[in-house]
Amino acid sequence: MLAECARPEDGEADQGGARPARSVTVNLAESPLGWLKARGLVDARQYEAGERLRGDWTIAGLGQRVTMRWDAGARSTGDGLDPTLAQISARRRMEAALDAVGPGLKDVLWRIGCAGEGMEAAERALGWPARAGRVVLTLALDRLADFYGLGEGDRPSK
């Protein structure tokens, strides 16, 4: 889903009258990690690690629910486990991955990778200065990729 965002109204000058406002199109379905990857701020290896963690978080059913699950007995996870066992396995994998990342790094990783918070919101919630979150997030994603055994092939050369 795409949304048009503009401030102030398109074509109007801002308070100082200096320049007209710009409008941007925002993909509301894009994850914060996807946004960072699209702009080259995380590499493919880091993105894959974050997506694996988010996948386990989703299967574990740890996100907020707004209604009852009507498919409780019908859902297949593709791994031969019933939904309850799949949730337990996914939760254990997720907890092991976050433990491997470490206490100083897993907070920002969970906020951005699993909860879907934007970088600015995560930095604010953690009481960090602006732009500190990306550095910490990339360190966390590197540790996560190591935990998952993702190869160095996707990492940019130095």
In the chain, domain spans: 1-30, 31-150
pLDDT of residue 23: 72
In the chain, which residues have pLDDT < 50? 2, 6-10, 154, 156-158
Displacement of CA 130 from its chain's centroid (Å): 18
CA 144, 45, 135, 157 torsion-angle sign: positive
Question: What would the two tokens of residue 113 be?
Answer: 């990778």
Find out whether 40 and 54 touch, Cβ atoms under 8 Å: no
Which tokens in the block code for residue 95? 């907890």
Rounded to two decimals, the pTM is 0.69
